[in-house]
Structure 1
């Protein structure tokens, strides 16, 4: 059992998020700490108040007591406030902005350790930012065009000389959108990207895929035998193939550390592809990525590592 921590951990996520529930269990098991849980959709149905005077600030939100004792926050999967729809859309937009501004101000003013700091988290979610930063950090990045111009997309695909994949530019809670090969039938539908900018990227034939859970300098690397299954193009949903703990070459590890530092992330789930040429290609990093299945498949102590980061500021796990 770990040493009792003098502060509190706050997990901001969906009420039914399995990762949040597993983290709560890890904190109780390893640190005897019962974290606070917050789903932002509970506001403004439940009240919130901030008082500021000479003695400092006190906060209450959605029936949660002890917010002012919070010393670490896992900004896991925050929702906007759940503001009821009224008669006028302008009024709805105003109330939504006021509620979101209140909740964000209340939480972001906490003098806590953030995993991840919300401003950095928001910027790092932008895939163009990721790819450009990764290239400058020394990572290998497949040739890429991101555009809403059908002619630009068509010219890139025709000049690439290899298969091309396409995928979404943004992120949301909408239905999962997998990376797909660009087929001849898709070329006839490129006009649709005018209203939906799309990433087009040279396809890397895989030797394997690597999913790296980054916990403030600690790399939990999982090798995915993507060539053995149906998910060679996008292995993220194919759990039928082999998963095993792995390690990164020193040069790749150094570039990854530079990337995460430049993005200001203390946590993230990074997707790399090892090509047939032996090169480690950076595909993306998700600051709120899924990793529970990686721990189940490999036994790597990822939840314990993240719990240690929240509690002690260090993701080291004894014996690993």
Structure 2
């Protein structure tokens, strides 16, 4: 379940064909309602169909990666679109979510776990160190928080969307001068952690694929996503951190997720966030870790382990 031009979905389809001899369905919800669909229930059971797909009732596992809203058909008035969208969502989500399959991730858990506030509170309960955080749309509250901290404070997005990439930045005077803008867009403010390095962990139902990013050697000292020219090496988490990670992912109900963890100069492992639909292909390219193979094994066998690792 992803956009048709999603490279991760394309790579996963190739992995399933090459390693398991399967013919996966790549479904982009932007094809609906241009393509027709039906759900029928009678005394013999249920049948599901989408006109451009074959084998929907035979699906046994689903990678719920980056589902896209259905497209607006030509000729639909703007005043009617809210009704149309609600009907399309109710149909296509019900059609898909009723499939008795292994879901990676369960759509309900995926949506809840994607909320940063839920993540942070759950991570702290799971035993992770979490930077002191304020999420608010109150400019006065934000200013008070920033001015009360001993060290720098970063700000970043609170939500996720397909909007333009937004980097994490340290709050400066210019940002304080325009705090009024957060009134309509609640923003996350968080203590900046002086780092030894950053870690990106791909969790595949109990299997950890951990990459150490030498973020402090390049331009990504604040946001490690900004520089892929630095060293990326395989890493192993301490047992205590692995335990907190397993507790966190279990509490969030996620069988898959990509986590950002910062190793502070104080030796503490700080949880920053988990993305249930995160990017990881570049980690496999950089390190050779068999992450696609691992996830494919989870989808096919219910086990993300890979022989030899």
Verify same fold: TM over 0.5: yes
Give 1:310 deviation, angstroms.
Answer: 0.1
Counterpart secondary structure, 2:271:
strand
Query: Is residue 178 of structure 2 the alignment partner of residue 155 of structure 1?
Result: no
Q: Structure 1 residues 206 and 62 mapped into 2: Cα distance closer, same or farther (>3 Å)? A: farther
* Match for residue 139 of structure 1 among 119, 128, 148: 128
Residue 62 of structure 1: how far off its partner (Å): 4.1
- Where 2:193 maps in the other structure, the secondary structure is coil
1:182 maps to 2:179: no
Equivalent runs, 1:91-130 vs 2, <5 Å: 91-130=80-119
Alignment partner of 1:261: what SS? helix
Distance apart, 1:290 and its partner CA:
0.2
CA distance in 2, matches of 1:92, 1:197: 27
CA contact (8 A) 2:33 2:73 kept: no
Could you list the per-position Cα deviations for residues 230-249 of structure 1 after superposition, in whole angstroms to 9, with x for gaps in the alignment? 10000113101000000001
* C-alpha contact (below 8 Å) 2:261/2:271 kept by paired residues: yes
Quote the Cα distance in structure 2 between the aligned partners of 1:212 and 1:85: 43
Seen in structure 2, the aligned counterparts of structure 1 residues 93 and 297 have a Cα distance that, compared at 3 Å, is: same
* Aligned twin of 1:6: none
Residue 216 of structure 2 corresponds to 227
Distance 1:36 1:51 in 2: 21
Separation in 2, partners of 1:45, 1:294: 36
Task: Verify the 8 A CA contact 1:42 1:62 in the aligned structure 2.
Answer: no
Question: 2: CA distance between counterparts of 1:288 and 1:88?
Answer: 33
C-alpha distance in structure 2 between counterparts of 1:184 and 1:239, whole Å: 29
Identify the match of residue 282 of structure 2 among 271, 288, 293.
293
CA contact 1:85–1:92 (8 Å) conserved in 2? no
Gaps of 5+ in 2: none
Deviations 1:252-297 (A, max 9, x none): 1000100000000000000000000010000000000000000000
TM superposition shift of 1:63: 1.2
TM-score (norm 2): 0.99
Alpha-carbon offset, residue 100 of structure 1: 1.2
Please state how far the C-alpha of 1:87 moved relative to its aligned partner.
5.8
SS at match of 1:172: coil
Note if 1:268 corresponds to 2:257. Answer: yes
Q: Which residue pairs with 2:63 in the alignment?
A: 74
Query: Which residue of structure 2 lines up, in the alignment, with residue 170 of structure 1?
Result: 159
Who is 1:317 aligned against? Answer: 306
Within 5 A, what are the aligned runs for 1:15-26? 15-26=4-15
Q: Tell whether the 8 Å contact from 2:219 to 2:226 is kept in structure 1 after alignment.
A: no
When residues 51 and 218 of structure 1 are mapped into structure 2, their CA distance, relative to the original with a 3 A threshold, is same
**Alignment match, 1:249:** 238
SS at match of 2:60: strand
SS of 2:10's partner is helix
Shift of 1:42: 0.3
1:31 aligns to 2:20 (yes or no): yes
More displaced 10-residue stretch of structure 1: 301-310 or 77-86? 77-86
| DSSP-derived class of the 2:121 partner | helix
Sort the Cα spacing of 1:234 and 1:44 in 2 relative to 1 into closer, same or farther, 3 A. same
User: What does residue 56 of structure 1 align with?
Assistant: 45
1:42 aligns with 2:6: no
